[in-house]
Every structure is written in C-alpha cells, then in structure tokens.
Chain A
C-alpha cells in the first residue's frame, strides 16, 4: 500500500520526508546503558555511605538507614537497566525493513 496517496501533500513536509533517507538516527546509542551506569554509581556511593552512617544521620532520617536502603534500591535499578539492555538489545535494522513493507 502506498501511504503517499493516503494523505494531503505539502511541499515543505515532503522535502523533509525525502531527506530522511539520509538519516543518521540509527547511530543513536542506547540510553539504558547511561541510566544503568549512573544509577549503579549512585547506588554504590550512597549505599557505602549508608554502611557508615552515624547516629545523627539515622536520627535525622527518623531512625531509618535511608542511605543504605536508597543506595541498594538505586544499585538494583541500575543493574536492572543494564541487564535489560543486554538481554533485549534495540530492535532496529529489521525495523527499517518492516517500515518499507
């Protein structure tokens, strides 16, 4: 099915659409790696500090070892993002083919 017959034509829109053949968007990196990396670092940093928190820190946080727990949670989340990226890499190349069908 030719999708061009399905919509009104506009010269400006069509020009830009044609340029898309040169698109470099496929070279975009996977953001999950960055999110995962940052949260692993945050998790380790804050979690380690949490291990050594003194009475005043714990008292301020109403008796919770908040740094330890927050650090652990962020570490796990970061690892989840990294694992997700490894187990399910981005779909593309086939996506380009699918779009042409």
Chain B
C-alpha cells in the first residue's frame, strides 16, 4: 500500500454500470415530465407522493457525497464520536420536525419554508430568508459539484471540466424536465445505489481487519487509542478526539445546529411538503430517521477501517488526506463489478445532494423571490417556465462558485460554518414565532437579522484570530448558540415595543391559534396504528439511545 495515486482500474463492465445509471436517472426525469401541468406539480410533485418515497428522498437529499466522504473522514479522524452527528445531531431534530413542526408547515399550505415567514411575520423577514437561502443553496450546490469533479479526476482520470459538465448537465436535465418528482424519484433510486456501493466496502473491510473484534483491537492500538471507541467517555472535558465538551455536543450540535439544519432547511422540508397528506408529511422525516440511525455503519466503520489499514492516512495534503478514506478502500478492496457499483454509488450521492439544493433553489427563487417581489400576476404556467429557467441559472452559478470550496481543509467544517450562519438564527426565529403568538412581525425581522449577524461576527472574529476556540467544530457550536441567544433576546426586547399581528392572520401558523387538522385528509391505509407519526418517532428516539450503549 504505497498510497500513491487513487486511480481505480475500471473496466468496461464498471463503465457499463455507471452508464446504465446515467441513462436511468435521465429516463426518470423525462418520464416524470408527463405528470407536470401546474406549478405545484413542478415544485412540489403535486403534493401526491407516498410517505416512504418522500422519507427516503428526505434522507437521500442529505446523503450527498460530502456527507459520506466527510463522515468517513471524521470517522477516521475522531472515531466513534462521529456518531454524534447521526444519533444526537440528526434523529431528535427529524422526529421533532415530523411531530411538532410539520402540522404548521403542511397545514398552512405554504409552498416553501421562507413563505411561512411571510405569513407569520412580514415581507422583509421573508425576503431576507429567501435570498440567504437561495444564495446558500447555490453555494452548496457548487461545493458538491466541485467535490464531484475532484473525486472523478482522482478516481477515473477525468479532467475537472468534463466531470463538472457531466454532473451538472445530468442534474440540470432531470430537474428542468421532471421537476421535483424527477429529483425525488431519483433520490430514492440514489439512496439504494449509494447503500449498494457502500455495503461491499464495509463487508470486505471488516473481513480484512478480522471482524468487529479485530477492528476494535486495531483501533485501540492506533493513534486514537481506546478513546476512538467511545462516544461519550471523556466528554467531561475537551480532552477527547473531537475536542468537544458534552455540553457543546448536546446543546450545540444536538440542539441548535441540528434543529437549525433539519427543521428549517427547505431543501429537506420540501420533500415533506410534497407528501400526499398530513400523515405522510409528518412521517416523512421520521421514516428518514431510521436509515439515518444505521448509515454510520457504512460511513464511520469504513473510516475506521481505512485508518487502521491504510498507512499514513491523515496527511495534511496529497492522496492520504482523511477525505480519501473511502476512495482508498475502493481502490484496495473492490474487484471490477462491485467497483462499478461503488463508483456509481459515489456519483449518485453527489447528484442526490446537488439535486436537493437545486430543486430547493428553483422553488424559492420562483415562489418567494420572483412571484412575491418581481412579477406577481403571471399565470401558473408562467411560473413553471420561470422555475425551469431558474434551474438553469442556478446550476450555471453553482458551476461558477464551485471553486470557493477549494480553500478549506475539511469540507464538512465548511458546510458546518455555512449552517451555523444561516440555520441557527432561522430556527430560533421559527421556534419562537411558532410558540409565542405575541411575537411581532418587526421582532421577527430584527431577530433574524441580528442573529445572522451575530453568527457571522463570531465566525469572522474566530477566523481573524480575535476569538479562540479549540476547533472549527467548536466554533460552529458556539456560533450557533450565540446566534440562537441573540434571536431570543432581540425578540424579547422588540416585541413589547411593536404591534402584534392580528389573531385571524395567525390561524394555523402559531401554536394554539386554530386547531391544525391532523386527520382531515387521512387515507384509509394511514389509520393503522403502525403508521402513527408519534409512535414511529418515539421508537426512533428510543433506538438512538439504545444504539449508544455499546459505544458509550
């Protein structure tokens, strides 16, 4: 194992598997076209999809390759503490979204997350959020695209521009033609292809290190030592691989960062809004929580396997950086055949991530920016056309911004930094606005703005060396926490000084204002007890606790 060169020895069969995948996703996009007549068909799949489809799309939208590669990298670098990103940093927020927040989102018939802010507060709050969301999505799509190109260049020897063009054109085609249905259907397909690609890596890797027991022994003797096998031990101080205190993990990652991301990120919530009824919408993030509980088995474990089998992994640059943990295992362990499946899985995950950003972007651009502020008297067909053009524009800007990502050592931290700037203050504004009906429209605006600025200031002061944190990760915990507190304080100060919104304009948007109808549109098949959102959510939470026990 010299670590030199990541190039895989792909043969005709492997390329055939990859090509068949490209043809299939394009076919799905074109076949979805006949189901598009209205703007809701294009942007929200006509609110017609069953819960298992929207649920798998929900998890797939988050399963971008940045996530997979980044989590395997974190697994190699920090060991089992990486589990926090899944079990405390995702599952509780997903369950909360389904049980508590979805009735307001789906019941109010808003077409996007920013639109909720327009109805609950006022237009300035809405515009601020719509623009920041649109910009963030295009940036993140660019990050995804750039990462795709880098990995294709390393693995297959494709020039950067070829990889960027292939990735961008395919995603562009199936979303422009097939709308959200094209994106969601492909996300479901991508979910299974990603898993099919990751499982063989994990299985062969485990055989190589002598099973789970062998892996544990090898980790104990590695740089991480015993600490690499525990998620919570040693979090009484910051003397642990992640450099994070349990308080930061529970409140920073588990509450502020994670709730901010999962409950207000329209690229995710959009999947639930496309569900066929209230019950399916509420079950969407909860169904997604179950795969989320198990995905670390095919990301963190390969990361650890790479750490103990690839000598020199963890270099600061070159082929042996942590982000190459999974590509290195693919090169060393997979024969032709499953190799093609794994490469396809990796490509699929890039596309899933990017498609989620692009479909979120085109919806917000059309409904929340163009229709609300530029031209509001167009016909429904007109907005479908705007959406298709916005898709093209968004992908082009994404290509242009792809290179912003280049300056950062660990891709996940960059994404985390973006989240802490936009999502944490947004979540705080949402949650206070949903449960405190007195909160005034002006308070909504000033809270959101000052919270975002507080997060930005913390980030810049840290980067400028004025504030000191143990790691980028700790900065993002604290930045998010500070933003959350700022929102709460500003809301408490501004609300008493300004006029509240009349009660009749808050119906269905705020807790206690008009009963949200949870059962009115229910399907016969949804009445069975095992389709209860509350029950399914409770089981997911219990599993998240139980799974921690062996790696405490």
Contacts and interface: CB of A to CB of B under 8 A. Distances in A.
Contacts of B53: 31
B16 interface: yes
A31 B203 contact: no
A79 interface: no
Contact of B508 (A8, A20, A62, A101): A8
A77 B200 CA distance: 15
Interface string A58-85: 1011111011001101100100000000
Contact of A23 (B16, B32, B46, B185): B46
B39 to A, nearest CB: 6
Contact of B208 (A3, A62, A77): A62
A6 B115 CA distance: 18
A7 B185 contact: no
A13 B111 contact: yes
Contact of B34 (A24, A45, A50, A57): A24
B489 interface: no
A24 B34 CA distance: 7
A45 B17 contact: yes
Interface string A29-60: 10100110011011001100110010011101
Contacts of A29: 31-32, 35
Contacts of B188: 31, 35
A90 to B, nearest CB: 7
A87 interface: no
A20 to B, nearest CB: 5
A22 B17 CA distance: 39
B77 to A, nearest CB: 25
B28 interface: yes
Contacts of A73: 196, 199
Contacts of B119: 8, 10, 13
Contact of A7 (B16, B24, B108, B203): B108
Given A25-B48, A42-B341, A50-B337, A98 B509 contact: no
A17 B40 CA distance: 8
B341 A6 contact: no
Interface residues of A, number: 56
Contact of B337 (A35, A63, A70, A99): A70
Interface string A84-101: 000000111011001101
Nearest to B274: A25
A95 B524 CA distance: 8
B386 interface: no
A19 B336 CA distance: 51
Given A13-B115, A64-B207, A34 B28 contact: yes
A70 B47 CA distance: 36
Contacts of B507: 6-8
Given A23-B37, A24-B41, A25-B48, A7 B509 contact: yes
B278 to A, nearest CB: 10
Contacts of B40: 16, 19-20, 23, 25
A57 B333 CA distance: 9
Interface stretch (B433-441, B477-485, B511-519, B541-549): B511-519
B76 to A, nearest CB: 19
B335 interface: yes
Contacts of A74: 196, 341
B46 A60 contact: no
A46 B48 contact: no
Contacts of A17: 109
Interface string B76-114: 000000000000000000000000000000011111000
Contacts of A31: 28, 53, 185, 188-189
Given A12-B372, A39-B192, A19 B38 contact: yes
B463 interface: no
Contacts of B524: 94, 98
A95 B31 contact: no
Contacts of A50: 337
Given A13-B108, A66-B204, 20 more contacts: A6-B507, A12-B376, A16-B39, A23-B40, A23-B46, A25-B45, A25-B47, A25-B48, A31-B185, A45-B17, A53-B335, A57-B335, A60-B334, A64-B204, A70-B199, A70-B200, A92-B48, A95-B277, A95-B523, A98-B522
5 contacts: A16-B367, A29-B35, A42-B17, A60-B335, A73-B196
Interface of A: 1, 3, 6-8, 10, 12-13, 15-17, 19-20, 22-29, 31, 34-35, 38-39, 41-42, 45-46, 49-50, 53, 56-58, 60-64, 66-67, 70-71, 73-74, 77, 90-92, 94-95, 98-99, 101
Interface of B: 13, 16-17, 20-21, 24, 27-28, 31-32, 34-41, 45-48, 50, 53, 107-111, 115, 118-119, 181, 185, 188-189, 192-193, 196, 199-200, 203-204, 207-208, 276-277, 332-338, 340-341, 367, 371-372, 376, 380, 504-509, 514-517, 520-525
